[in-house]
Amino acid sequence: MTADRRRVNGPPSGTRPAVFTADLQSGASATDRAQRQRQPSELRKIFLKTGLIPTASGSSYLEFEPSASLAAARANPKSLIPPSSALKLACTVHGPKPLPRSAAFSPNIVLTTHVKYAPFAARQRKGHIRDSGERDLGVHLETALRGAIIAERWPKSGLDITVTILEAEDDRWWGSAPDSHDASWGMMNVLAGCITAASAAIVDAHIDCLDLVAGGVAALVADESGNSATGTTKLMLDTDPAEHRSILSACVVGYMPARDEITELWLKGDSSKASLEEGDDRSGHDALIDGAVDAARGAHTVLAEAVRESLLRNVGQP
Amino acid sequence: MATSAAAPASSSRPALSLPPSQFARLQPHAYLLAHLSPPSTNNQPSIRANGRAPTQFRVTSANAGSLTHTNGSAVVRIGDTAAVCGVRAELLHTEDIASWSVSQATSSNKSPRSADQTEELGEQDDNETIERERAHIEDLNLLVPNLSLSTGCAPGFIPGSAPSSLAQSLSHQILSLLHSTRLVRADDLRIWYQPPSMGPEELERHNDEEQMDVDTAQNDPVEESPREIKAFWVLYIDIMIISLAGNAFDAAWAAVLAALRDTKLPKAWWDVDNETVVCSDSISDARKLSLRGLPVASSFAVFEADAAAGWRAAVIPEAAEMKAQRLARKGGVSERWLLADPDGYEEGLTQERACVVVDKDTDGKVIILKMEKNGGWTIDTEDLQQLVDLSSQRWEEMKRILDEC
């Protein structure tokens, strides 16, 4: 492959990420793996602020509260390996703007979504060109937002939504070996964050919407307290994948509380075999979706507050 | 943002009256000119449309070390321009470098230990050390800065496409400034290995890397085989411009500087058994980069009242006379202004740019590290002197901000 001549390239032979001694000796550090300190239905705090980027029509910045282990590691730094990470992303909205002359006629607003990880966002260095995962996130985000925007109010117009992820969530705890339960669980949290942030940015850009779409994540987690032979699973809201040994299945929704509508649903993993607690006869995926909707309701309260702030700020301006 | 003046009472005004924000859009040049040259009847000082004095920089803030997955990171906001920089260190093994053994053989055979000592003693680098530093950092591409504007930072940049020419030029300016200021010491990036002298009793100690490490650090026996470089740290310096409102270079460079000052590299050593470099994750073993100085960039733009005057003088001689008469009427005030730290609106109205990078040594002497001027011919030597003075004032301000973050 030829080098990208538009960027400053590193050494042509490539580089290797640093290998820590802690990575090599497995099992020794199992005691200090990140543990969930929250209740199963307790969400992380969300910091959401709009209007930080004045050059855009609308913008927002979202940050999740660091998990207990990360907060402890920050307060008292010992190791260079972070125990977990907290989502940080910036979202900008440009538009509505006229479509280029060459574009075909569209009676509705044309949404374009771009989700890009910063190269330093994840534990592994990301490339500069969007990979398939980032494109996938973009498509999911577009689906979630398209259901909320009143698109026919802006014929022949375009709306660009760009999300830059400065820090992503981990897919699993860094010390655990890859296993069969692995999937890109971190992406689910990132998508939920993208939906909430993009929704705030769209309102900040004064685009008419049916309701605020909020993102929420729930997951079925193999119970770690009991013996694993019984195979009980627990429903957890707003899971940080680094804090759980094995996530069986996870679900992210884009949800509009006022209309009780789901605009985006993404379910990963096998929820069919999950047996929930006693007295809960919902099927696995029903429970997951309900849980994700509950999480989205929680995010919606933050979103509503951020939008109120955005409006108050804009009212003061001429 | 353009102005904070109250909207005029539209009812009593003539129909063609415009609120300031619309005037600013329709006649940007006249708008800025009117701000900079207030009528001589009132004693208002010349002020820019954004409310700053011509030589005033925007409010700057910096915050370092907030990103988890980086070796060092920083966020710098200069007014409405915001840059996030993350530094990630990866390893380049010398065995992966195609030309390594050849270049080692041809380069100096001087003991690397003595080179270290001269560096530790102070800034007494001889030419040979400088050349070796340059050879390592520049030829091996150990510093990899990349700036991204595809973050939706301004309407003109399409996200997802290849880097625009502005992004490319900024990346290269940062790279060349990193090289020319020699900010990062090559010695911080080298990972040495001391092969044990192959005596029969020493072979037994091969397994114990800890002990070997102590060896390299402390004793310095004469018969020991020469130390060799096993790997280099490569610093990937990625800058995301989150919000662009003019003067991206100053913000990006300040973010790079703050992130490099925050960068901690783990202790790394060559592990003979695994034939690779391993690192300690303990934060007490990690060390910060020891940067050379604190180069601070300050950018300026020149706003001309009549940008075409110079051309007209060449093409229509009478125009030059008219201009001279007008100047005489105004009392000889030149109709151009040096604007420090131009914002996006001003950048659109100016052609001529200047960028000065200065540092101060311990005695407070100003060292000019870079001086660049392009796009016009109005800045003369006196102006450059003034720019350097302004830049050194800015250096004090930036030093305070960067020390606090």
pLDDT digits (tens, 9 = 90+) for B19-60: 888 888 888 888 898 888 887 777 778 889 889 999 999 999
pLDDT digits (tens, 9 = 90+) for A177-225: 666 667 788 999 999 999 999 999 999 999 999 999 999 999 998 866 5
Inform me whether the C-beta atom of residue A22 falls under 8 Å from chain B C-beta atoms.
Answer: yes
For the cut 90, the answer to whether the pLDDT of residue A158 exceeds it is yes
Chain B residues with CB inside 8 Å of A114's CB? 150, 152, 159-160
Determine the Cα–Cα distance for residues A288 and A236; give it in Å rounded to an integer.
9
Mutation target for A interface from B18, B69, B150: give the one with most A CBs within 10 A: B69
Q: What is the mean pLDDT of residues A28-49?
A: 81
For the cut 80, the answer to whether the pLDDT of residue B3 exceeds it is no
How is the beta sheet containing A88-98 ordered, strand by strand?
A: A46-50, A58-64, A88-98, A157-167, A110-117
Cis peptide leading into A96, omega within 30 of 0? yes
Query: Of residues B254 and A69, which shows the higher confidence score?
Result: B254
Give the pLDDT confidence score for residue B125 in this predicted structure.
56
Q: What is the mean pLDDT of residues B320-339?
A: 65
pTM: 0.87
Q: What are phi and psi of A166, to 5 degrees?
A: -85, -30
| Of the candidate ranges A142-156, A253-267, B220-234, B334-348, the one whose mean pLDDT is the lowest | B220-234
Give the pLDDT confidence score for residue A91 in this predicted structure.
96
Contact B357, B370 (CB under 8 A): yes
Residue B8 has a CB neighbour count (10 Å cut-off) of: 12
Determine the Cα–Cα distance for residues B153 and B157; give it in Å rounded to an integer.
8
Q: Does an H or E element contain A49, and which?
A: strand A46-50
Determine the Cα–Cα distance for residues B34 and B41; give it in Å rounded to an integer.
14
pLDDT digits (tens, 9 = 90+) for A77-91: 888 888 888 999 999
Looking at residue A152, the DSSP 8-state letter turns out to be G
Determine the Cα–Cα distance for residues B96 and A233; give it in Å rounded to an integer.
47
B244: its two tokens: 């662009």
Q: Using pLDDT thresholds of 50, 70 and 90, give the confidence band for residue B122.
A: very low
Q: Using pLDDT thresholds of 50, 70 and 90, give the confidence band for residue A262.
A: very high
Q: What is the mean pLDDT of residues A127-140?
A: 92
Alpha-helical regions (H) of B229-357 = 248-262, 309-315, 317-329, 344-347
Alpha-helical regions (H) of B107-264 = 112-121, 127-134, 165-181, 186-189, 209-217, 248-262
Residue B120, judged by CB atoms within 10 A of its CB (0-12, 13-18, 19+), counts as: exposed
Tell me if B279 and A54 make a contact (CB, 8 A cut-off).
no
Inform me whether the C-beta atom of residue A47 falls under 8 Å from chain B C-beta atoms.
Answer: no
Contact A213, A201 (CB under 8 A): no
Determine the Cα–Cα distance for residues B231 and A17; give it in Å rounded to an integer.
12
Give me the torsion for CA of B324, B329, B331, B337, rounded to 10°. Answer: -60
Tell me if A6 and B168 make a contact (CB, 8 A cut-off).
yes
Inform me whether the C-beta atom of residue B89 falls under 8 Å from chain A C-beta atoms.
Answer: yes
Q: Which residue has the tokens 């109120």?
A: A308
Give the pLDDT confidence score for residue B127 in this predicted structure.
78
Residue numbers of B between 200 and 239 with CB closer than 8 Å to A = 234, 236, 238
Inform me whether the C-beta atom of residue B348 falls under 8 Å from chain A C-beta atoms.
Answer: no
Angle between helices B248-262 and B381-404 (to 10 degrees): 40
Mutation target for B interface from A20, A55, A94: give the one with most B CBs within 10 A: A55
CA distances for B142 relative to A8, A12, A275, B42, B262, angstroms: 11, 11, 53, 57, 18
Tell me if B277 and A19 make a contact (CB, 8 A cut-off).
yes
Mutation target for B interface from A2, A4, A5, A8: give the one with most B CBs within 10 A: A8
Give the pLDDT confidence score for residue A75 in this predicted structure.
85
Give the pLDDT confidence score for residue B149 in this predicted structure.
92
For the cut 50, the answer to whether the pLDDT of residue B4 exceeds it is no
Residue B119 Cα, gap to closest chain A Cα (Å): 26
Contact A262, A253 (CB under 8 A): yes
| Of the candidate ranges A78-87, A272-281, A283-292, the one whose mean pLDDT is the lowest | A272-281
Determine the Cα–Cα distance for residues B393 and B338; give it in Å rounded to an integer.
15
Residue B5 Cα, gap to closest chain A Cα (Å): 10
Q: Which residue has the tokens 């093994």?
A: B93
Give the pLDDT confidence score for residue B225 in this predicted structure.
73
B103: its two tokens: 């270049």
Classify the phi-psi angles of A27: left when phi > 0, otherwise alpha if psi is within -120 to 50, otherwise beta: left
Determine the Cα–Cα distance for residues B87 and B236; give it in Å rounded to an integer.
6
Residue in A213, A253, A218 with CA at minimum distance from that of residue A238: A218
Residue in A231, A317, A229, A293 with CA at minimum distance from that of residue A43: A293
B303: its two tokens: 């706003």
Give the pLDDT confidence score for residue B37 in this predicted structure.
84
For the cut 50, the answer to whether the pLDDT of residue B230 exceeds it is yes
Chain B residues with CB inside 8 Å of A120's CB? 67, 69-70, 73, 86-88, 236, 238
| Of the candidate ranges A261-265, B34-38, B172-176, B354-358, the one whose mean pLDDT is the lowest | B34-38
For the cut 80, the answer to whether the pLDDT of residue A302 exceeds it is yes
Give the pLDDT confidence score for residue A2 in this predicted structure.
62
The percent of residues in chain B predicted with pLDDT above 70, rounded, is 77
Tell me if A21 and B279 make a contact (CB, 8 A cut-off).
yes
Tell me if A162 and B89 make a contact (CB, 8 A cut-off).
no
For the cut 60, the answer to whether the pLDDT of residue B255 exceeds it is yes
| ipTM of the modeled complex | 0.90
Residue A14 has a CB neighbour count (10 Å cut-off) of: 12
Contact B300, B358 (CB under 8 A): no
Chain B residues with CB inside 8 Å of A10's CB? 90, 92, 141, 144, 234, 236
Tell me if A7 and B153 make a contact (CB, 8 A cut-off).
no
For the cut 50, the answer to whether the pLDDT of residue B220 exceeds it is no
Q: Using pLDDT thresholds of 50, 70 and 90, give the confidence band for residue B87.
A: very high
Residue numbers of B between 240 and 299 with CB closer than 8 Å to A = 240, 242-245, 264, 266, 268, 274, 276-283, 286
CA-nearest residue to B284 within chain A is: A78
Q: Which residue has the tokens 């939906």?
A: A195
Q: Which residue has the tokens 């006379």?
A: B321
**Pick from A7, A85, A91: CB nearest B68:** A85
Determine the Cα–Cα distance for residues B243 and B223; give it in Å rounded to an integer.
58
Indicate the average pLDDT of chain B: 81
Give the pLDDT confidence score for residue B10 in this predicted structure.
43
Indicate the average pLDDT of chain A: 87
Give the pLDDT confidence score for residue B113 in this predicted structure.
44
Residue A290 Cα, gap to closest chain B Cα (Å): 32
Q: What is the mean pLDDT of residues B291-296?
A: 94
In DSSP terms, A221 is beta-bridged to A234, A247
CA distances for B9 relative to A13, A311, B17, B238, angstroms: 67, 25, 10, 49
Contact B81, B245 (CB under 8 A): yes
B307: its two tokens: 């940008």
Give the pLDDT confidence score for residue A144 in this predicted structure.
95
Give the pLDDT confidence score for residue B121 in this predicted structure.
44
Contact A118, A166 (CB under 8 A): yes
Give the pLDDT confidence score for residue B240 in this predicted structure.
95
Q: Does an H or E element contain A195, and which?
A: helix A185-204
A66 CB contacts (<8 Å, ≥6 apart)? A74, A84, A86
Give the pLDDT confidence score for residue A225 in this predicted structure.
58
Determine the Cα–Cα distance for residues B78 and B252; give it in Å rounded to an integer.
10
Tell me if B281 and A17 make a contact (CB, 8 A cut-off).
no
Give the pLDDT confidence score for residue A224 in this predicted structure.
64
For the cut 50, the answer to whether the pLDDT of residue B109 exceeds it is no
Q: Using pLDDT thresholds of 50, 70 and 90, give the confidence band for residue B214.
A: very low
Q: What angle do CA A282, A226, A284 make, to 5 degrees?
A: 15
Q: Using pLDDT thresholds of 50, 70 and 90, give the confidence band for residue A29.
A: low
